[in-house]
Structure 1
C-alpha cells in the first residue's frame, strides 16, 4: 500500500524567510546579548546586523561563519532543499567570502514524512553545495513537528577585503542583483494561485547562487553589501543606512519578478509585509500604503545582493556582473542625512 503524505507547505505555519522573527521582536530579544568586543580576532560579530560572523585566522585568511534554516517554501522536497541551501550560502557571499564547507541542519516530522522525502530534501541541498564547490561535511538532525532544513555555512575571505553592510558612503549608488517578489509568489503557491510559469520563476530565482559576492571582495569602490532576504528590501536597506549613519534613497520602481505585479493587483499580500512595516515603517519616508509598500516589505527568500558602490565604479561593476550572468540594477543611492530610508518617485 502506497503511503500518502501531506504537502510540505501544509505542515508549516510559515515558509522560507517569511518565517523570520520580525525586526522589532528580534531587536528586543538580542538587546541584552553579550557583545564580542573582548575577542580581538572577532572582526564581525553580533554588534551589527551583518549577514555572518567573521573571525581572523591569520594575516591573509578570515573565517566567515553563518547559519540559516527555515520551513518549506515549496512542496517539492528537492527544490526545498535547493532553496534553503542557496539562501544559507548567500550570507557567506554577501561578506565577500568563498564557501569552503557546510553542515546540514535537519528537523523533520519523521512519523509524517517518509525517509525518501526527507532524503530528497537533503539531496537538493547537497546539489547546491556541489555547484558551489563545497561538501556537506556533516550536520545534526532532530524529530520536529514542522519540517525544517538549512545549513551552517563556512567560508574564507581576506581580512582586508571583508564586505559588511556598514560601509556605505554618500554618493554611492545602490544596485540589486535579483528582482523582488519571491514572497508574493510563494504566498500564491500556498493559496493554489500560482501557475507553472510562476513556479518556474520562483525556483529559478531562489536557487541562483549569489556567488558574484565573492568577486566583490577587494574590488575598488564597493563599500557595502548585504543580501536582501526576510526583512524585505526596505528592512535590509534600513540596516545599511543605520550601519553607516546615512540616508538611503530607493527608487519607487524596483525590478520585479514576472507575474508578481498581476498578483499584487489581484490583492495578494503576505502577513510578513505588514509585520515588517509595523517594525520599521517609522524610519521610512515617502511610501504610502499600497502595492509598492507590499513589494518593498515582501520577504525575499534567497534574494539578491544589495551593493553600495561608488558612482565612478558603477559601470565597471555592472559590466562584471553581466559577465557572470547577473543583472545589477540601480535601485537607489546613498546621501547625507539621518539613518533612514526615503522612497523617491521614479
Structure 2
C-alpha cells in the first residue's frame, strides 16, 4: 500500500502554520487576565518565548510548548526539526533544558504506525543530543499530523533573558540565516535542490544551545528566537517590549543563497504575506524595495536562529560564542535606539 507524503496531509508546515500575529492579538484581547503570582518572572505580557517561574534564589523554571504540522516528508527529519524548534524557546530565555513531554496528533487512517514511530524517534534523538529525557506526553487521532514537545528548563533568576530587556544603543545579532520558509514552499513544489534540502535540515536541527552560554554574559540584555513571525515580527516584539526602535541593515542580514534565488523566482509562503499584513505598518522599507526582499524579511523560520541584543562593545565576544558553536552565519544586523517601537530597514540592494 502506498501512503501519502507527510506534507500533503497538512495545509501548512512548520512555524509557517502559526496564527498570524494580528489575529493572535485579537484572540488574546478577549481572554481575561489570570492569576499572576509574584514568582512568575515572565508570563504573557511581552509575547516572550517561554514562561519563567522563580523556584528559589538560584533557580527559575522555564516552561514552553511548541508543535506543528510537517515541514518535510521524511518522518525522522520531521521529528528532529519539531523537537529542535520546541527546545529552542528554553535556550532563548537563557535556560538549560531538563526534560520534555511529547505532543502527538496523527491521522491513524492515513499513516502507518512505522511512520509515526519514526517521527517520535527523530524527536527522541534531538532530546538525547540536548541531554534530556522525553518523560511522557499525550497523543490523539487527528486529521493532520502534528508533533512537538512541552519543554522544561532551568535558569538562574538573574540570568533570564527577556525579549523586553533590550537597551538603547544595543546591537542586534542574528544566529542563523533566513530562508527556511521559502525552502519549505519550494519543497512542496518540487523545486528544492538536494543541497538545499540538506541545508534546510542542518539548520533546523541545529540546537540553539548557545543561549545558555550567552545568558551568563551581563553585556547580553535580551534574546528571542526567530520563528513563525519572521525576522521583522520577532524584532518588533522585542521593540514593543523594550520600548525601542530598531534599524536593520538589509545587506548584513544572513540569508541562505538558494532561498534568495527562489524568492527572486516568486517562491514564498502564505505566512510571509500574513505576517506583513499584520505588522507592515510598523516597518519602513526603502522606496522601491522589491516584494521578494520584503518576503525574505517576513519569511517564517522553523527552528530559526537566536536574535540577541547586546552592548556594542560585546558584539565580537557574542559572535565568537556563536562561531565556536558552529553558527558560521551569525552576524550583526542592526541596532536599537530610543524611539517608537518600529523597524527601519536600510541598505536594500
Q: TM-score, normalised by structure 2?
A: 0.97
1:185-214 per-residue CA deviation (whole Å, 9 max, x = no partner) reads: 010001111110110011011000000001
Give the gaps of 5 or more residues in structure 1.
none
CA distance, structure 2, for counterparts of residue 255 and residue 231 of structure 1: 17
CA distance, structure 2, for counterparts of residue 32 and residue 164 of structure 1: 25
Match of 1:166 in 2: 164
CA distance, structure 1, for counterparts of residue 133 and residue 35 of structure 2: 32
Match of 1:180 in 2: 178
Match of 2:347 in 1: 345
**8 Å contact from structure 1 (residues 36, 45) kept in 2:** no
CA distance, structure 2, for counterparts of residue 11 and residue 180 of structure 1: 26
Map residues 36-115 of structure 1 onto 2, 5 A cutoff.
Answer: 38-115=36-113
Match of 2:150 in 1: 152
Match of 1:260 in 2: 259
CA distance, structure 2, for counterparts of residue 344 and residue 102 of structure 1: 41
Residue 142 (str. 1) matches residue 143 (str. 2):
no
Report deviation, 1:263: 0.6
Report deviation, 1:289: 4.7
1:252-271 per-residue CA deviation (whole Å, 9 max, x = no partner) reads: 12111131111112111211
CA distance, structure 1, for counterparts of residue 186 and residue 6 of structure 2: 15
Specify whether residues 35 and 48 from structure 1 end up closer, same or farther in structure 2 by C-alpha distance, changes over 3 A only: farther
Match of 2:284 in 1: 285
Map residues 229-244 of structure 1 onto 2, 5 A cutoff.
Answer: 229-244=227-242
CA distance, structure 1, for counterparts of residue 70 and residue 162 of structure 2: 29
1:114-162 per-residue CA deviation (whole Å, 9 max, x = no partner) reads: 1100000000000000000000111000000000000000000001110
Match of 1:319 in 2: 320
What RMSD over aligned residues (CA atoms) do the two structures have, in Å?
1.1
Secondary structure, counterpart of 1:259 in structure 2: helix
**8 Å contact from structure 1 (residues 201, 258) kept in 2:** no
Secondary structure, counterpart of 2:257 in structure 1: coil
Report deviation, 1:32: 3.0
CA distance, structure 1, for counterparts of residue 172 and residue 256 of structure 2: 19
**8 Å contact from structure 2 (residues 315, 332) kept in 1:** no
Count, aligned residues = 344
CA distance, structure 2, for counterparts of residue 35 and residue 82 of structure 1: 35
Shifted more, 322-331 versus 309-318: the winner is: 322-331
Report deviation, 1:36: 5.1
**8 Å contact from structure 1 (residues 220, 313) kept in 2:** no
Specify whether residues 144 and 23 from structure 1 end up closer, same or farther in structure 2 by C-alpha distance, changes over 3 A only: same
Report deviation, 1:37: 6.3
Shifted more, 255-264 versus 52-61: the winner is: 255-264
Give the gaps of 5 or more residues in structure 2.
none
